Chains A and B, each alone.
Chain A
Amino acid sequence: MTNNIPPPLLDVRNLSVRFDTPHGKVQAVNGVSWSIAAGATLGIIGESGSGKSVGLEAIMGLIQSPPGHVTGEVIFDGQNLLTMTQENRRALRGEKISMVFQDAVSALNPSLTIGYQISEVYRSRKRCSKEDASRKAVELMDRVRIPSAKTRLKQYPFEFSGGMCQRVMIATALAMDPQILIADEPTTALDVTVQRQIMALLADLQRDTGMALVLITHDLGVVAEVVEQALVMYAGKVVEQADVNTLFDRPAHPYTRSLIGSMPRIDNRGMRLKAIAGSPPAAGRTLPGCSFHPRCPDQFEICASQQPELSRVGTNHIASCHLNVVATDER
């Protein structure tokens, strides 16, 4: 694979996020590493509470500390974001790295007009006049395909539908032509047809601008269609990473297999969906062995006592499961 030749645009190394709560320490993200090259696309898959959103918020520097505690390295353009001054980091946000939030309706300020919020990046950086800012806002609204942008500029978020609000969010994130766009479950709060439109829009914009796209989702269908690389997270750890086709064709981790198995498919209608039994470990509880073992259909003795390491299972394909190690040993 040619993936290793260009230096990664964003390199996350051993990122951990811990929250000190009154009920004890909660390890939300536990030593996650991944990287993304310029213009590439990466999907982060995982169920609720697997640490996918928290990890990205840590990269953006949106974790409040205290109670949050972020360790590891996040290298962007040769600089470690985690050791940068707050000022420099703030300058980077929105300009080089942008984020689109889950629930667009609540991510827009109800008392400010749409036009104001789209051009907020320009205004907060005092780069141009108010007229220029609102002209650029209209351009951005056209880019995210919001009809009659000029009239809608002066409207408030409550006058927009959910899908339109998400388009506004995307426009806001794109304002400075960022190099990386992080989309945190951008379609969760929307209905299915609008989900399609938003994903299509994101995919088109990614292709047109050549920015890198990190997409958090729990929708495997979305991952299959929009991204090249995919990362599966479980209980704050990466359990498998591969390119999308490999992940779907030859999933190496039982969790990934179960996820794919629990997805409704058009070619086996009428069959009962395979749900994953049990629930993920409660926040703050760390299991001695593999964190998935209580729910794992293929578990054996070692799983309960020893943590599996991420290991290569194929070209550009890593997974953390004792099964793979055993399999390679036997081979």
Chain B
Amino acid sequence: MSQIVGNPTVEPAEPDDRAATTSFTDYLRALLRDKVTAVAALFLLILLVAAAGAEFLAPHDPNAANLRARFIPPLGTARDGTFYLFGTDELGRDVLSRLMHGATVSMSIGLLGAICSAIVGVSLGILAGFYRGKLEIVLMRAVDGMMALPSLLIALFILFVIGSGFANLIFIFTLLHWMIFARMARSLTLSYKEQTYVTAARAVGASDLRIILTHILPNMISPLLVLFTLEIAVLILSEASLSFLGFGVQPPRASWGLMIARGREYISSAWWLVVMPGAAIFLAALCLNLVAAWARAISDPVQRWRWLTKPSTEKDAT
């Protein structure tokens, strides 16, 4: 060593008034400041609670027909004095109770379907993007091929062969929806793989598995979360259309799509039979979209910080 360069003083420490960790209440407070997202999140929460506890929370038995209380409009009262918040249908069944039980079906199919397709799609996509070669060619051509298929028609066909049912529906949805996750995961892997931090991780001796799990996957969470939330909405809609066509959930079980299908005949005389489940589907999809944008913001460290501290800077400005 010939001589020492420069002065070995350290760079001055930057003032750090931010807390090193962010607690749950910080997130909650920030969520409450964002009014639209807060309402959407609240609605989804209510929907989840209603779906999870439909068995206990529903005011009536969803399948109990009462022919003396048919077509009672929302906020109406039957002759025996029973109050119906969302009215009753053509068999005198309580629409609210059926909506709640339908939420169980829709939410669980939406969530499970999205989880299964995400797991299948993301793992195949990462493998294709990371290892390239023949695997990638085969997988991606399979994706292209499957994307070209008319999904509703295929779903109808397969359900016709294997029969409808909850597990079968999840299977169909995974089969028809993994491709979009695979495509996204592959393209993200391709770009992350070339990042210097992946090379740097290799340089400290990280294994392929470790690189995939700790360096590629976490960076994907943010865009994937958006896709995931949107996919839940798409699946809820798909389930509704399949049930509407009579191939999804079978009566007497309630499902939003099925309720619309049944109510369609009475749309001129009993609008609420279509409007109530229709509104449920619309609001669920809308709220999921709104929450998706928020989920993206908080899963990205850079944006999370801005989002958490946004109001204080606004206050400073005024």
Q: Tell me the residues in window 140-168 of chain A with beta carbons closer than 8 Å to chain B beta carbons.
A: 145-148, 151, 153-156, 158-159, 161, 163-164
Instruction: Provide the bound-state CA to CA distance between A83 and B222, in Å.
Output: 40
Interface window among B10-18, B82-90, B145-153, B240-248: B10-18
Instruction: Provide the bound-state CA to CA distance between A112 and B215, in Å.
Output: 8
Known: A200-B5, A204-B4. A124 touches B200 (CB 8 A): no
Q: Chain A contacts of B14 at CB under 8 A?
A: 161
A107 CB, nearest partner CB in chain B, Å = 4
Q: Chain A contacts of B201 at CB under 8 A?
A: 109, 120
Q: Which residue of B16, B200, B207, B302 contacts A158 across the interface (Cβ within 8 Å)?
A: B302
A315 interface residue per 8 A CB criterion: no
Q: Chain A contacts of B302 at CB under 8 A?
A: 110, 156, 158
Contact yes or no, B204 A124, CB < 8 A: yes
Contact with B along A101-135 (1 / 0, CB 8 A): 11100111111100000001100110000000000
Contact yes or no, A125 B197, CB < 8 A: no
Instruction: Provide the bound-state CA to CA distance between A68 and B202, in Å.
Output: 16
Q: Chain B contacts of A226 at CB under 8 A?
A: 1-2, 5
Give the number of residues in A that approach B within 8 Å (Cβ atoms).
Answer: 62
Q: Which residue of A62, A112, A154, A193 contacts B199 across the interface (Cβ within 8 Å)?
A: A62
Instruction: Provide the bound-state CA to CA distance between A153 and B20, in Å.
Output: 9
Q: Chain A contacts of B300 at CB under 8 A?
A: 111
Q: Chain A contacts of B199 at CB under 8 A?
A: 57, 62, 101, 107
Instruction: Provide the bound-state CA to CA distance between A209 and B258, in Å.
Output: 73
Known: A148-B16, A207-B1. A197 touches B202 (CB 8 A): no
A325 interface residue per 8 A CB criterion: no
B-side interface mostly? loop
Q: Chain B contacts of A98 at CB under 8 A?
A: 203-204
Contact yes or no, B20 A203, CB < 8 A: no
A217 interface residue per 8 A CB criterion: no
A255 CB, nearest partner CB in chain B, Å = 23
Give the number of residues in B that approach A within 8 Å (Cβ atoms).
Answer: 39
Q: Chain A contacts of B318 at CB under 8 A?
A: none
Q: Which residue of A109, A125, A147 contacts B13 across the interface (Cβ within 8 Å)?
A: A147
Most buried by A among B1, B6, B203, B221: B203
B309 CB, nearest partner CB in chain A, Å = 12
Q: Chain B contacts of A155 at CB under 8 A?
A: 20
A199 interface residue per 8 A CB criterion: yes
Interface window among A88-96, A256-264, A295-303: A88-96
Instruction: Provide the bound-state CA to CA distance between A98 and B210, in Å.
Output: 18
Q: Chain A contacts of B4 at CB under 8 A?
A: 200, 203-204
A99 interface residue per 8 A CB criterion: yes
Q: Tell me the residues in window 4-49 of chain B with beta carbons closer than 8 Å to chain A beta carbons.
A: 4-14, 16, 20-21
Contact with A along B181-207 (1 / 0, CB 8 A): 000000000000001110111111111
A116 CB, nearest partner CB in chain B, Å = 8
Q: Which residue of B2, B207, B301 contacts A90 across the interface (Cβ within 8 Å)?
A: B207
Contact yes or no, A110 B219, CB < 8 A: yes
Contact with A along B292-318 (1 / 0, CB 8 A): 000000001110010000000000000
B165 interface residue per 8 A CB criterion: no
A20 interface residue per 8 A CB criterion: no
Instruction: Provide the bound-state CA to CA distance between A10 and B13, in Å.
Output: 38
Instruction: Provide the bound-state CA to CA distance between A120 and B200, in Å.
Output: 11
Contact yes or no, B218 A101, CB < 8 A: no
B90 CB, nearest partner CB in chain A, Å = 53
B66 interface residue per 8 A CB criterion: no
Contact yes or no, A103 B196, CB < 8 A: yes
Instruction: Provide the bound-state CA to CA distance between A178 and B3, in Å.
Output: 23
The residue in chain B whose Cβ has the minimal distance to the Cβ of A89 is: B205
Contact yes or no, A120 B206, CB < 8 A: yes
Q: Chain A contacts of B8 at CB under 8 A?
A: 145, 197, 200-201, 204
The residue in chain A whose Cβ has the minimal distance to the Cβ of B198 is: A109
Q: Tell me the residues in window 28-61 of chain A with beta carbons closer than 8 Å to chain B beta carbons.
A: 41, 57, 60-61
B61 CB, nearest partner CB in chain A, Å = 49
B296 CB, nearest partner CB in chain A, Å = 13
Known: A106-B196, A112-B214, A155-B20. A206 touches B6 (CB 8 A): no
Interface window among A71-79, A169-177, A267-275: A169-177
Contact yes or no, A109 B205, CB < 8 A: no
Contact yes or no, A164 B214, CB < 8 A: no
A225 interface residue per 8 A CB criterion: yes
Contact yes or no, B203 A93, CB < 8 A: yes
A104 CB, nearest partner CB in chain B, Å = 9
Contact yes or no, B205 A194, CB < 8 A: no
Contact yes or no, B11 A161, CB < 8 A: yes
Known: A196-B5, A197-B11, A200-B5. A125 touches B21 (CB 8 A): no
| Additional 18 contacts, C-beta under 8 A, given A62-B203, A109-B219 | A93-B203, A94-B204, A99-B200, A99-B203, A109-B201, A109-B214, A110-B302, A121-B204, A124-B206, A172-B204, A194-B11, A196-B6, A197-B7, A199-B5, A203-B5, A225-B2, A225-B3, A226-B1
A-B contact pairs, 7 of them (CB 8 A): A41-B1, A60-B202, A106-B195, A106-B197, A109-B215, A124-B205, A199-B6
7 tightest A-B CB contacts, nearest first: A196-B6, A94-B204, A94-B205, A147-B13, A93-B205, A107-B196, A99-B203
